[in-house]
């Protein structure tokens, strides 16, 4: 019989560059007890908030019946709904079944000869490219804490002359953040680049001041014809299962794409979420759980930094990249955490651009964070 370790490692290798979900893992290894999912990067308080609305407005009222029985609105209706809230004309908003679909649409249709992707990264940005697109990697340096050296990056881009560049802000898997002023400098230095993709899937966890206010590039898009924004709702709103995302695209693209598909790519519950997303009462409550989660995450990260045998890289997202310096490998640590302690973390051995033993750990609720820290300390240093 295979051990739990063997079954887990086999599953992980079958999942390619993404991690198997908890449901998948438990389906294959039902004897495993998962206490904390620190692999997936979501705000658990936002999930609770959404659930409380869903229960009160859909389940308790029986409204859920209508949502499941009938067709949801078509994508352009949702774009119209989002327009005022997002502050962008509806003909530039591309509503998608998860942000991954917006990425796919851009990469398949508008990226041409060459794309520059900063590594380590979210793998889909290079995996989804067409065969005739060359992928060029720009390496974020471990010695530089994976932060982007802007002058060096600009020099690199100008020498390579790609048609597309990608900046994930904050970046996944390291949480590195490009400040708003720096991002503007990058954009203004590269008017010749056809597509500047800015992925703001984690922007709600980043902040620029002590009030924890965030600074999105979206209000500045009018000034730049070449900036494309990708936004996932999965992590910050804690609703990955609903598959909600959108892209903000240059004029003309959305019409092009939706006359050729993407008509009903939102399900009824996703539509319900987007209707909440633009509501004042929901937003006020969301801001409270957003800031609460950031505050707790900052404490979590500072506590992790005190653990021996690991190096915690600076992050302005809800997760941290951790290098294991005690001599154990990332696979050993991730497997032991899961099997012995029920703590699921992202083993980063498959991430290109990472040299060393790395795991990525997400902040969870306060109680879960304590379990994560204690388990990591014990596993790494045993
Ligand atoms: C998770 C993630 C996405 C995709 O999110 P979905 O909305 O769940 O498809 C896109 N970009 C980055 C950087 C991510 O981490």
- The pLDDT tens digits of the residues spanning 22-68 come to 788 888 888 888 899 999 899 999 999 999 999 999 999 999 999 99
Distance between Cα 214 and ligand 1 center (Å): 19
* Residue in 41, 46, 99 to alter for ligand 1 test, most ligand atoms within 8 A of Cβ: 99
Nearest to 145 by CA among 301, 320, 352: 320
Q: What is the mean pLDDT of residues 152-170?
A: 98
Instruction: Using the atom order of ligand 1, give the atom closest to the CA of residue 235.
Output: 1
Are 324 and 310 in contact by the 8 Å Cβ rule? The answer is yes
What percentage of the chain has pLDDT greater than the value 70? 100
Distance between Cα 1 and ligand 1 center (Å): 37
In this structure, which residue's CA is closest to atom 11 in ligand 1? 201
Instruction: Using the atom order of ligand 1, give the atom closest to the CA of residue 103.
Output: 10
Distance between Cα 59 and ligand 1 center (Å): 28
Are 343 and 303 in contact by the 8 Å Cβ rule? The answer is no
> What's the pLDDT score for residue 2?
78
* Residue in 42, 104, 202, 235 to alter for ligand 1 test, most ligand atoms within 8 A of Cβ: 235
Distance between Cα 248 and ligand 1 center (Å): 15
310-361 confidence digits (pLDDT tens)? 999 999 999 999 999 999 999 999 999 998 999 999 999 889 999 899 999 9
Work out whether the CA dihedral 284, 245, 234, 207 comes out positive or negative: negative
Instruction: Using the atom order of ligand 1, give the atom closest to the CA of residue 96.
Output: 7
Distance between Cα 296 and ligand 1 center (Å): 23
Distance between Cα 101 and ligand 1 center (Å): 9
Q: Report residue 1's pLDDT band, with 50, 70 and 90 as the boundaries.
A: low
In the sheet that holds 134-139, the strands lie side by side as 93-97, 244-248, 227-232, 195-199, 164-168, 114-119, 134-139
Distance between Cα 318 and ligand 1 center (Å): 14
Distance between Cα 100 and ligand 1 center (Å): 6
Q: Which 3-state string (H, E, C) describes the chain?
A: CCCHHHHHHHHHHHCCCCCCCHHHHHHHCCCCCCCEECCCCCCHHHHHHHHHHHHHHHHCCCCHHHHHHCCCCCHHHHHHHHHHHHCCCHHHEEEEECHHHHHHHHHHHCCCCEEEEEECCCCHHHHCCCCCCEEEEEECCHHHCCCCCHHHHHHHHHHHCCCEEEEECCCCCCCCCCCHHHHHHHHHHCCCCCEEEEECCCHHHCCCCCCCCCCCCHHHHHHCCCEEEEEECCCCCCCHHHCEEEEECCCCHHHHHHCCCCCCCCCHHHHHHHHHHCCHHHHHHHHHHHHHHHHHHHHHHHHHCCCCCEEECCCCCCEEEEEECCCCCHHHHHHHHHHHHCEECEECCCCCCCCCCEEEEECCCHHHHHHHHHHHHHHHCC
> What's the pLDDT score for residue 29?
84
Right CATH number for 4-49+283-381 from 3.30.70.2740, 3.90.1150.10, 3.40.718.10, 3.40.50.2300?
Answer: 3.90.1150.10
* Residue in 101, 103, 176, 234 to alter for ligand 1 test, most ligand atoms within 8 A of Cβ: 234
For residue 322, count CB atoms less than 10 angstroms from its CB and return exposed for 0-12, middle for 13-18, buried for 19 or more: buried
> What's the pLDDT score for residue 348?
92
Right CATH number for 70-279 from 1.10.3720.10, 1.10.260.40, 3.40.50.970, 3.40.640.10?
Answer: 3.40.640.10
Nearest to 32 by CA among 381, 370, 335: 335
Residue of higher predicted confidence among 50 and 1: 50
> What's the pLDDT score for residue 26?
83
Distance CA 267, CA 344 (A): 29
Instruction: Using the atom order of ligand 1, give the atom closest to the CA of residue 171.
Output: 13
Work out whether the CA dihedral 187, 189, 191, 193 comes out positive or negative: negative
Residue with tokens 């056809």: 194
Are 79 and 73 in contact by the 8 Å Cβ rule? The answer is no
Are 119 and 167 in contact by the 8 Å Cβ rule? The answer is no
> What's the pLDDT score for residue 21?
81
Distance between Cα 93 and ligand 1 center (Å): 17
Distance between Cα 201 and ligand 1 center (Å): 6
Instruction: Using the atom order of ligand 1, give the atom closest to the CA of residue 245.
Output: 7
pTM, entire model: 0.94
Distance between Cα 306 and ligand 1 center (Å): 30
Residues with CB under 6 A from ligand 1: 98-100, 122, 168, 172, 199, 201, 232, 234, 240, 245
Q: How many CA atoms lie within 13 A of 142 on its CB side?
A: 12
Are 72 and 270 in contact by the 8 Å Cβ rule? The answer is yes
Nearest to 319 by CA among 48, 19, 18, 39: 39
Residues 6+ apart with CB under 8 A from 178: 148, 150, 167, 169, 186
Instruction: Using the atom order of ligand 1, give the atom closest to the CA of residue 101.
Output: 9
74-131 confidence digits (pLDDT tens)? 999 999 999 999 999 999 999 999 999 999 999 999 999 999 999 999 999 999 999 9
* Residue in 122, 237, 242, 318 to alter for ligand 1 test, most ligand atoms within 8 A of Cβ: 122
> What's the pLDDT score for residue 365?
94
Domain range summary for the chain, segments of one domain joined by +: 4-49+283-381, 70-279
């Amino acid at each position: 019989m295979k051990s739990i370790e063997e079954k887990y490692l086999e599953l992980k290798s079958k999942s390619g560059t993404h991690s198997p979900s908890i449901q998948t893992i438990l389906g294959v290894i039902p004897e495993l007890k998962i206490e904390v999912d620190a692999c997936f990067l979501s705000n658990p308080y936002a999930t609770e908030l959404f659930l409380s609305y869903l229960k009160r407005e859909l389940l308790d009222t029986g409204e859920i019946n209508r949502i499941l029985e009938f067709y949801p609105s078509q994508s352009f209706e949702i774009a119209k709904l989002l327009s005022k809230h997002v502050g962008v004309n509806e003909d530039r908003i591309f509503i998608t079944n998860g942000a991954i679909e917006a990425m796919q649409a851009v990469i398949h249709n508008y990226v041409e000869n060459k794309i520059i992707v900063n590594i380590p990264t979210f793998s889909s940005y290079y995996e989804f490219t067409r065969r005739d697109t060359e992928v060029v990697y720009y390496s974020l340096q471990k010695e530089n804490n994976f932060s982007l050296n802007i002058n060096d990056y600009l020099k690199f881009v100008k020498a390579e002359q790609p048609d597309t560049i990608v900046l994930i802000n904050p970046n996944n898997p390291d949480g590195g953040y490009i400040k708003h002023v720096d991002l503007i400098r990058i954009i203004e230095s590269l008017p010749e680049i056809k597509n500047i993709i800015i992925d703001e899937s984690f922007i709600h966890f980043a902040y620029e001041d002590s009030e924890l206010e965030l600074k999105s590039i979206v209000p500045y898009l009018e000034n730049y014809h070449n900036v494309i924004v990708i936004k996932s709702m999965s992590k910050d709103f804690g609703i990955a299962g609903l598959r909600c995302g959108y892209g903000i695209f240059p004029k003309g693209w959305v019409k092009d794409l939706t006359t050729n598909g993407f008509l009903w790519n939102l399900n009824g519950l996703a539509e319900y979420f987007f209707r909440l997303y633009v509501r004042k009462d929901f937003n006020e409550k969301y801001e409270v759980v957003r800031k609460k989660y950031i505050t707790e995450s900052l404490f979590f990260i500072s506590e992790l930094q005190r653990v021996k045998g690991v190096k915690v890289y600076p992050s302005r997202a809800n997760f941290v990249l951790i290098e294991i310096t005690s001599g154990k490998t990332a696979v050993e640590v991730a497997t032991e955490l899961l099997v012995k302690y029920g703590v699921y973390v992202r083993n980063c051995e498959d991430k290109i651009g990472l040299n060393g033993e790395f795991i990525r750990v997400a902040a969870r609720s306060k109680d879960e964070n304590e379990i994560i820290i204690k388990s990591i300390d014990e596993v790494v240093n045993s």
